[in-house]
Amino acid sequence: MKIIVGSSNPVKINAIKENFNNPIYEVIGASVDSKVKAQPLSHEETRIGAINRAKACVDDLKGDLGFGLEGGIFFSEDHLYLCNWGALADKENSLYVVSGPTLRLPDNFKKPILEGLELNEAMFNLLGLQEVGSKQGAIGHFTNGVLCRTEVFNQIVKILWGQYLYDKKFSFSTN
């Protein structure tokens, strides 16, 4: 079974590989267009980015399954939060979508984000951390390593895969 991850980010690819560690699965990472801003600024934009990535993996790259994993930011009550979404698409046009945990970001991140910086760039400018999105992620840094980005995406993938298996077992459509 050919499984395509709509990203070249090693964190996202590894989250899929950890869940599909069997020779029957061929896991491939591929850059695809999320069709949203490089830094999604709402739950909805982040969710749509994940969906677009998953669908592109199946429709454009001809995977049996396509996964889209997207990190974003949203504002609530004048605070900035990190959010994560995942989507799984298949060749039968089934679509599964779930969100992961959210985390409040420090207030000093609001200004650079509102000025157009991506979170990765803000993490470098404010904290000196390079390519944090390809490593432990902001969630890893701000939880002092208790939870890292790979684990967040790993949980999202498990839920997506579980929904997919349930759907196939009981013919329950989530379209």
Eight-state DSSP code of residue 152: H
Band of pLDDT at residue 168, cut at 50, 70 and 90:
confident
C-alpha distances (whole Å) from 144 to each of 51, 73, 138 are: 30, 19, 10
Q: Rounded distance, CA 149 to CA 172, Å? A: 30
Count CA atoms within 13 Å of residue 15 on its CB side: 29
The dihedral built from the CA positions of residue 107, 157, 135 and 143, taken in this order, carries a sign that is positive
Q: What is the pLDDT of residues 14-61, one digit of tens each?
A: 999 999 999 999 999 999 999 999 999 999 999 999 999 999 999 999
Q: Rounded distance, CA 68 to CA 55, Å? A: 8
Question: Does the global pTM surpass 0.75?
Answer: yes
C-alpha distances (whole Å) from 95 to each of 2, 54, 81, 160 are: 17, 9, 26, 9
Least confident of 27-41, 127-141, 149-163: 127-141
Q: Is the pLDDT confidence value at 134 over 70?
A: no
Band of pLDDT at residue 169, cut at 50, 70 and 90:
confident
Band of pLDDT at residue 174, cut at 50, 70 and 90:
low
The dihedral built from the CA positions of residue 59, 62, 65 and 68, taken in this order, carries a sign that is negative
Q: Rounded distance, CA 44 to CA 165, Å? A: 25
